[in-house]
Amino acid sequence: MTEFIRKRAANAKNDILSGLTVALALVPEAVAFAFVAGVPPMVGLYGAFMMGLITAIFGGRPGMISGATGAMAVVMVALVAKGNELGLETGIEEQGLMFLFITLLMVGVIQMLAGVFKLGKFVRLIPHPVMMGFVNGLAIVIFMSQLQLFKSGSGDNKVWLEGSPLWIMLGLVGLTMLIMWGLPKLTKKLPEALIAIIVVSAIVILGNFEDVATVKSFIVEGSEGRASGLKGGLPTFQTAIFSAELWSIKNLLIMAPYAFILAAIGLIESLMTLNLVDELTETRGNGNRECLAQGGANIVNGLFGGMGGCAMIGQSIINIKGGGRGRLSGVVAALALLCFILFASGLIEQVPIAALVGVMFMVVIGTFAWSSFRILHKIPVSDAVVLIAVSLITVWKDLAVAVIAGVIISALVFSWENAKRIRARKKVLEDGTKVYEIFGPLFFGSIQAFNNKFDVKNDPDMVVIDFMESRVSDYSALEAIFNLIKKYEAAGKQLRVKHLSEDCKALMVKASPKLANVIEDAIDDPRYYVMMDLQK
């Protein structure tokens, strides 16, 4: 126990300082995503606090940060708008917000079921080109979202900064990035992001820069003057969501599709961020546990008035780069965010947006897989296409669509390549029996090539198919063998199959008792020999 405590206490300082830095970066992000979703700023901040605290304590990846995210906000906006539209008919105040909270309950249940049924392991099926495309696309999305902060005004009246405000903004952003780049070269004991924010904030406050946008001005402009700042209390239980009228079949049918989409986006982004943090820290997280924690956090958000969310790659990288490795960093980030809301809103409101933009720009530089440019012409064309496609789709649509598209493309390419690799070596034994030795997996993609190997009309009366170097992989393969048997029987010839693995024999017998009659059981049958990759 002493050793356990000592190891964790050794990194406590880094966890605490890194958590404070992350908390500062969470404020504008949570507020911005709340505006995107069409909900009050405090809903976004509460969401970031509850997501961050619960996943930090119970999640499957220490050091990973969760909160309100843009990927989920762009889906929420349509749901909230639909709820508000129906609210005009029913007379229910803030019905769009109530729809969001109820939907989050459904999202949480779906995500927890994914954890219970251990679906988190399927993230292992995501190919590396998809992962690289994901981080590249996400880096571009983060960069583009920060460009919106170079505008002033509110609503549709936002215009690009010009003149001295623009140059001051660029100068402060550049100074923040310079500090973050240079400080680690002098000492690694100080969190560069936190120091950069403090230094730039001090310059703006002491220099009395009036034209510099701060967190407070950002909130006021984003809410079109309806909000005066970061003033709020503790999250409260949302009794209003349990109104029977809100839980009508009609409303549930409206919310259900959004719930599945949000659950999918949240899980995919969280599990892929978990994989990325695993690579950065050279450790391994628990995907199924993360599914359970994300689901539980979204349920709590629905009950206590937060906008929900998932893992945040930008803040997670800030935390890891700042030395945050344990659960303490996430807990500190969440509690510090709550303290900012309750006690230090005045100080946080004075932090210049430029400092936070500079931090996120450094996150973009650290997130983007620059090595992809170097290897693009060295990897197979199919992998290069997947990498570029996932990057572009992430920017064009969203993360979930991009990852699903990338996995589908990779799976189709894999199936096509393996379909071409099935071969048959033919030989005739002394007794006149013709033997087809099959190499390569027999599955839906290789069925046509498999059928073309046989010459039913000219083959002798006894034919044997040897699967020592192959495997019957699916029902399509069973159907192909069954059809081949019928062709040979119709021609008055006998067909035998040998050297099948035990599971393949079981599949064949289960599919049709007739297939059992053509299987030759031999003492040298392999237990399970599979040739998945026959390289010439």
Q: What is the pLDDT of residue 426?
A: 92
Coil, helix or strand for 120? helix
CA atoms within 13 A on the CB side of 514: 11
Strand partners, 423: 439
pLDDT in tens, 34-53: 877 778 888 989 999 999 99
Q: Does residue 124 contact residue 375 with C-beta atoms inside 8 Å? A: no
Domain boundaries of the chain, sorted by first residue: 2-144+158-224+246-394, 420-520
With contact defined as beta carbons under 8 Å apart, do 212 and 172 qualify?
yes
d(CA 228, CA 233): 15
Q: 157 is written with which tokens?
A: 């009246």
Q: Token digits for 160?
A: 């690009």
pLDDT at position 302, please? 96
Average pLDDT over residues 421-430: 89
Spatial separation of the C-alpha atoms in residues 313 and 322, rounded to whole Å: 14
- Give the Cα separation of 419 and 413 in Å (integer): 10
Give per-residue pLDDT as tens, 354-383: 888 888 788 788 778 888 888 888 888 888
Model pLDDT for residues 229-240, shown as the tens digit of each residue? 666 688 999 999
Burial (Cβ within 10 Å: 0-12, 13-18, ≥19) of residue 301: buried
Give residue-wise pLDDT tens across range 309-334.
Answer: 999 887 898 888 888 888 999 999 99
- Token digits of residue 311: 């893992």
Per-residue pLDDT tens over the stretch 255-309: 998 998 899 888 888 988 898 888 888 888 898 999 999 999 999 999 999 999 9
Q: Which of 53, 39, 50, 144 is nearest to 81 (CA)?
A: 39
Q: Reply yes or no on whether the pLDDT at 116 is more than 80.
A: yes
What's residue 531's pLDDT?
Answer: 37
- Inform me whether the pLDDT recorded for 91 exceeds 70: yes
How far are the Cα atoms of 42, 52, 65, 207, 336 from residue 359, in angstroms, in the given order? 23, 20, 16, 21, 18
The pLDDT of residue 8:
56
Q: Is 524's pLDDT higher than 60?
A: no
Cα distance between residue 43 and residue 33, in whole Å: 10
Tokens encoding 282: 């050279």
Q: Which CATH number fits domain 420-520: 3.30.2000.10, 3.90.230.10, 3.30.470.10, 3.30.750.24?
A: 3.30.750.24
Mean pLDDT over residues 448-460, rounded? 91
What confidence category does residue 154 fall into, taking pLDDT thresholds of 50, 70 and 90? low
CB atoms under 10 Å from CB of 459, counted, come to 18
Residue type, 504: C
In this structure, are residues 484 and 451 in contact, taking their beta carbons and an 8 Å threshold?
yes
* 244 against 527, higher pLDDT: 244
Residue 532 pLDDT > 70: no
pLDDT over 90, % of the chain: 28
| pLDDT of amino acid 533 | 40
Name residue 150's amino acid: F
Alpha-carbon distance of 310 to 377, in angstroms, equals 34
Confidence label for 527 from pLDDT (cuts 50, 70 and 90): very low
Quote the strand ranges of 356-477, DSSP E.
Answer: 423-428, 434-442, 462-472
Which is nearest to 177 in space by CA: 320, 321, 362? Answer: 362
Q: Is the pLDDT of residue 138 over 90?
A: no
Express as a percent the part of the chain with pLDDT over 70.
90
The CB density around residue 384, as the number of other CB atoms within 10 Å, is 16
Name the pTM for this structure. 0.70
**Is residue 181 scored above 50 in pLDDT?**
yes
- Stretch 6-34: mean pLDDT, rounded? 78
Phi, psi of 369, deg, nearest 5: -85, 85
Q: How sure is the predictor about 522, in pLDDT bands with cuts at 50, 70 and 90?
A: low
